[in-house]
Structure 1
């Protein structure tokens, strides 16, 4: 990277020795910052040409000193060429280190910092982070490494090279080469942004490359089951035991709002007597470590009782015998086909169904739903909650009833008058 460098050699009168000879000093200025050092040569000031920066005449002394000064000029020029070839910002400190042959501090690069961050996250699993969060950062690291290799043909990159263009190209790479959706791209970029914030906080990056980068999550239509579809699931008789088990566990989450990992970790200790004297589930969400207390509805209570003596629950000390998330989702697709439900049935769909069909559509306030879901902010609940057509119909029917009552009263008043 080109630098504005000037070289000035002058006779310094203030440092004259007892014989009246002036020492020659070398001044180097880069982008307004300067330093100077002694050449360790002394000259008669009358024999010095300040414009040409050399001694006058052709005496042996003049030739020797001028040759030495040419060596300094050549070395300065050579150092500048080498640093410019490296395509790195040339600072005065970096230049002088290279000129004097000092080993400068090794420039920081991105990947070791990302790896160190992930190592810290891993050590805090169960304290500040979940295993899922660690896995997501690991995937983000892999995508970042692949992008650097794809874009630059190298395995790592210096921090000073991470600028707005780098971010924009990374965004484009995720959308095209990795075929990521907008929201998935946003999540990976958000993870990467955390690493950049660490670099900025430590003074390793001077300018924020995200300063003019704008992107936002797009609203996604979340899949939820209607009351009719829930009833279809409950009424269906399965001849295969594993499908019946998966259906029941899925329904358990539909009527408790618990995510897969939180159901998997439930034990009898999570069943407590609530303020109303009834059984509640009291747990902490693994994802956010926020408390979640849910009064047990009849369907959820029935499922707990149904599997109370199941050998898998006894062996694993769990409340209900849940399978792996991968198997649950695979069997749920099979169950959807059998029940004639034309939706992509995944385990997380149960949590959305609880928020929408089971609670909000039946008049449960969103503040109550947010509390049961263990959300830190009600805005998160609003993303889950989808006002169904049934809720709209019910609300409008109530409005019609009110309006019809008012109209009858108005007509009655007119007759009386």
Structure 2
């Protein structure tokens, strides 16, 4: 069973005089910790309870957040166990951090990728490669509007089922042959892999 401890670092205060609240998760003999993004005045912190004291709106909000975080971390532990995977303090916190990853859109990321490609044309990227990625991005944009009436969609919502629908769209609506379709899927896959590395999105 995991142990969850909330604590502050009194010797490292923020500019407003408050101390950042951290959470330490221990599973087995190993621990891992991360900042919660919340802070409190050192005089308001009750170390034995791992909560702030007082009836102000701010302390109530902080304590409510910590209560929810405690529940979330416990739930993530159970989730890992249900999946039959090895539980560790680091894995529990990694999953928590993934919940808070900014939901960047796949087309926004693709546009960023293509801009970088454009700047490298004639240096390390062929003009044809850049143009193929531009076409790939436009085709996926058309697909999202056609199938979901969406201008963009978060990277972590692009799953296997959506890719199969995209493949079907390319071959039936756009009338691409199998080889061309595979190339477009590979181009999109490159950007999805970039998201995994850059934002640590679960796939």
TM range (shorter): 0.5 to 0.7
Q: Greater strand share, 1 or 2?
A: 2
**Aligned residue in 2 for 1:30:** 72
**CA-to-aligned-CA distance 1:365-391 (integer Å, 9 cap, x gap):** xxxxxxxxxxxxxxxxxxxxxxxxxxx
In structure 1, C-alpha distance between the alignment counterparts of 2:131 and 2:98, rounded to whole Å: 39
Q: 1:141 aligns with which of 133, 137, 142?
A: 137
**CA-to-aligned-CA distance 1:9-51 (integer Å, 9 cap, x gap):** xxx9x56xxxxxxxx96533126259xxxxxxxxxxxxxxxxx
The runs of at least 4 aligned residues of structure 1 exceeding 6 Å deviation read: 91-95
Evaluate the alpha carbon distance shift between residue 156 and residue 195 of structure 1 in structure 2; reply closer, same or farther with a 3 A threshold.
same
Give how far 1:146 is off.
Answer: 0.3
Query: Are 2:170 and 1:174 equivalent residues in the alignment?
Result: yes
Give how far 1:94 is off.
Answer: 9.6
**Aligned residue in 1 for 2:109:** 113
Give how far 1:204 is off.
Answer: 3.9
SS at structure 2 position matched to 1:155: coil
**CA-to-aligned-CA distance 1:52-83 (integer Å, 9 cap, x gap):** xxxxxxxxxxxxxxxxxxxxxxxxxxxxxxxx
In structure 2, C-alpha distance between the alignment counterparts of 1:94 and 1:123, rounded to whole Å: 31
CA contact (8 A) 2:98 2:201 kept: no
Evaluate the alpha carbon distance shift between residue 92 and residue 200 of structure 1 in structure 2; reply closer, same or farther with a 3 A threshold.
closer
> Structure with the greater relative contact order (CA < 8 A, sep ≥ 6): 1 or 2?
2
**CA-to-aligned-CA distance 1:71-113 (integer Å, 9 cap, x gap):** xxxxxxxxxxxxxxxxxxxx86799xxxxxxxx7742111111
Cα root mean square deviation, aligned = 2.8
Give how far 1:136 is off.
Answer: 0.8
**Aligned residue in 2 for 1:184:** 180
Evaluate the alpha carbon distance shift between residue 163 and residue 31 of structure 1 in structure 2; reply closer, same or farther with a 3 A threshold.
farther
Q: 2:155 aligns with which of 149, 156, 159?
A: 159
Q: 1:198 aligns with which of 173, 184, 194?
A: 194
Unaligned 5+ runs, structure 2: 1-45, 50-59, 77-94
TM-score, normalised with respect to structure 1: 0.27
SS at structure 2 position matched to 1:30: helix
